[in-house]
Amino acid sequence: MGHLRTIATLAVLALAAGLPGVARAQPQNCADVIARDRQLSRATQALSRTGILDNLRGVGPFTIFAATDQGIARQPENLGALLFPQEGSARGGPSMDPVLAPSVVNAHIVDGRYPAASLRLGQVLRSRSGGSIEVVSSGNEPVVLRAGPGGFSVGATPGDARITEADIPCTSGVIHKIDHLLVR
């Protein structure tokens, strides 16, 4: 019994010391976290095709409101296919609108780290596309966001986006999964 306790203690000390050969979980930047999430495959494709995925490997901090595949599927079919095409699908292909797509992707990224608990009713965040993201519900309820005025418009009716999974950590910021695109 004493030997097991000694071995366990040495293993913990080795992890704490960061000795070579000892496996440790490495923190990941926002781009890698998004790319590994199966619920964000269409968002990952859009980020990659627009070149914005590489930017998310930078220093940050960023707050990314990442629409899930299910959230993207809720959009009008032509909008989803134009902005978030699925490879090998009849509803899209490898190409996307070269002006519209980066604008819409950047409409979901805010400079700075905003954990869900810091988002307050009435707060307005400025997205990288120049538009605004309004917090329309917070507190004990799920946080709900809406695309506000400014920035680039795709002519869509703004819908409310609920944060379905909040505060996904990454070294370059924080990610919140949402169930609707932040477009207007």
Reported as a single tens digit per residue, the pLDDT across 134-176 is 999 877 778 999 888 765 556 566 678 999 999 999 998 999 9
Asked if residue 132 has pLDDT above 60, the reply is yes
Predicted local confidence at residue 100, as pLDDT: 80
Give the model's pLDDT for residue 98: 75
Question: What local confidence, expressed as pLDDT, does residue 1 receive?
Answer: 52
Greater pLDDT, 123 or 83: 123
Higher pLDDT among residues 35 and 10, named by residue: 35
Q: Where are the chain's structural domains?
A: 27-178
pLDDT at 115: 96
pLDDT at 118 over 80: yes
Nearest to 103 by CA among 71, 72, 128, 135: 128
**Average pLDDT, integer, range 99-109:** 87
Strand order in the sheet with 173-178: 109-111, 62-67, 173-178, 161-170, 144-150, 131-137, 124-126
Range with the largest mean pLDDT of 16-30, 62-76, 88-102, 150-164: 62-76
- Identify each DSSP E strand in the chain by its residue range: 62-67, 109-111, 124-126, 131-137, 144-150, 161-170, 173-178
User: Do residues 137 and 124 touch, judged by C-beta distance below 8 A?
Assistant: no
**Amino acid code (one letter) for 157:** T
Q: Which CATH superfamily is domain 27-178 in?
A: FAS1 domain (2.30.180.10)
- Is residue 61 reached through a cis peptide bond, with omega within 30 degrees of 0 on the bond before it? yes
Mean pLDDT of 2-16: 43
- DSSP character for 145? E
Region of residue 94 (phi > 0: left; psi between -120 and 50: alpha; otherwise: beta)? alpha
Threshold 0.85, pTM exceeds: no
At residue 12 the predicted structure's pLDDT band, cuts being 50, 70 and 90, is very low
Three-state DSSP class for residue 10: helix
**What average pLDDT does the structure give for the chain?**
78
